[in-house]
Amino acid sequence: MGRFFEALKAGIAGFNDGNEPGDYEVAGRPVRCPHCGHQKFVSGHALLNTKGRTFFKLDWTDPSASTLICAECGRVEWFIQEPDRVQS
Ligand SMILES: [Zn+2]
């Protein structure tokens, strides 16, 4: 799984800040991986296609979403708002 994550990280390095995994909060609550319970994530951004935005009634938003990728298992969490990075 470590190699998988390194490959994933290398793959997304082009469109995130290349930052190290860290703790994040959304709406004042710590983000926790629902799969493995890990709390370190790598942030990134992904474009939403028009179809998806219409489905979620988000046509008024900027056409991008924030993603947090679990540093442990690689699960991707999506947020419309920018997660706050928690300084440790
Ligand atoms: Zn996880």
What is the 39 CA–ligand 1 centroid distance (Å)? 8
pLDDT tier, 83 (very low <50, low <70, confident <90, very high otherwise): very high
- Three-state SS at 11: helix
- Give pLDDT tens digits for 17-75: 556 899 999 999 999 999 999 999 999 988 776 665 566 666 565 577 899 999 999 99
pLDDT exceeds 80 at position 79? yes
Is the pTM higher than 0.75? The answer reads no
What is the 37 CA–ligand 1 centroid distance (Å)? 6
Q: Which residues contact 86 (CB under 8 A, 6 or more apart)?
A: 22, 23, 24, 25, 30
What is the 25 CA–ligand 1 centroid distance (Å)? 15
- In angstroms, the CA 54 to CA 42 distance is 27
The confidence score (pLDDT) of residue 7 equals 61
What is the 34 CA–ligand 1 centroid distance (Å)? 7
The answer to whether 35 and 75 have CB atoms below 8 angstroms apart is yes
Give the chain's length. 88
